[in-house]
Amino acid sequence: MSFLAVLLALVLEQVRPLSPANVLHTGLRAWVRAISGNLDAGRPLHGYLAWSAAVALPALLALALHHLLWQLHPVLAYLWNVGLLYLTLGFRQFSHHFTAIRDALDVGDEDQARASLARWQQVDVGQLPRSEIVRHVIEHSVLAAHRHVFGVLSCYCIGAALGFGPAGAVLYRMSEFASRYWSHKSSQPGEGVSPALLRVARQAWALIDYLPARMTAVAFAVVGSFEDAVDSWRQCAQSLAGHPWASVERNQTVVLAATAGAVQVRLGGSPLPASAPEAPDAPPPEPLGPLGAGGRAPEPAHLRSVVGLVWRSVVLWMVLLALLTLARLLG
Long-range contacts of 101-106 (CB under 8 A, 24+ apart): 101/133, 101/137, 102/137, 102/300, 102/303, 102/304, 105/130, 105/133, 105/134, 105/300, 105/303, 106/300
pLDDT score of 283: 47
Backbone angles phi, psi at 57, to 5 degrees: -60, -50
Q: Where are the alpha helices (DSSP H) in 55-166?
A: 57-72, 74-88, 95-106, 110-121, 130-145, 151-161
User: Who's near 293: CB < 8 A, 6+ residues apart?
Assistant: 232, 235, 266
Q: What's the rounded Cα separation, in Å, for the pair 253 and 209?
A: 12
pLDDT score of 189: 67
Bridge partners (DSSP) listed for residue 265: 296
Rounding to the nearest 10 degrees, give the CA dihedral for residues 217, 32, 82, 210.
20
Residue type, 133: I
CB 227 within 8 Å of CB 220: no
pLDDT score of 191: 65
CB 252 within 8 Å of CB 284: yes
Q: What's the rounded Cα separation, in Å, for the pair 232 and 104?
A: 30
Long-range contacts of 20-25 (CB under 8 A, 24+ apart): 20/93, 20/280, 24/87
Helix (H) or strand (E) holding 206: helix 195-223
Q: What's the rounded Cα separation, in Å, for the pair 184 and 201?
A: 12
Q: 3-state class of 242 per DSSP?
A: coil
Domain boundaries, the chain: 2-330
pLDDT score of 277: 42
Q: What is the pLDDT of residues 76-113, one digit of tens each?
A: 999 999 999 999 998 887 888 899 999 999 998 999 99
- Alpha carbons within 13 angstroms on the beta-carbon side of residue 23 total 0
Spans of the chain, pLDDT less than 70: 20, 189-191, 273-289, 331
pLDDT score of 100: 92
CB 6 within 8 Å of CB 85: yes
pLDDT score of 281: 52
pLDDT score of 278: 43
DSSP classification of residue 126: -
pTM beyond cutoff 0.75: yes
Helices (H) and strands (E) in the chain, counts: 14, 0
Residues in the chain: 331
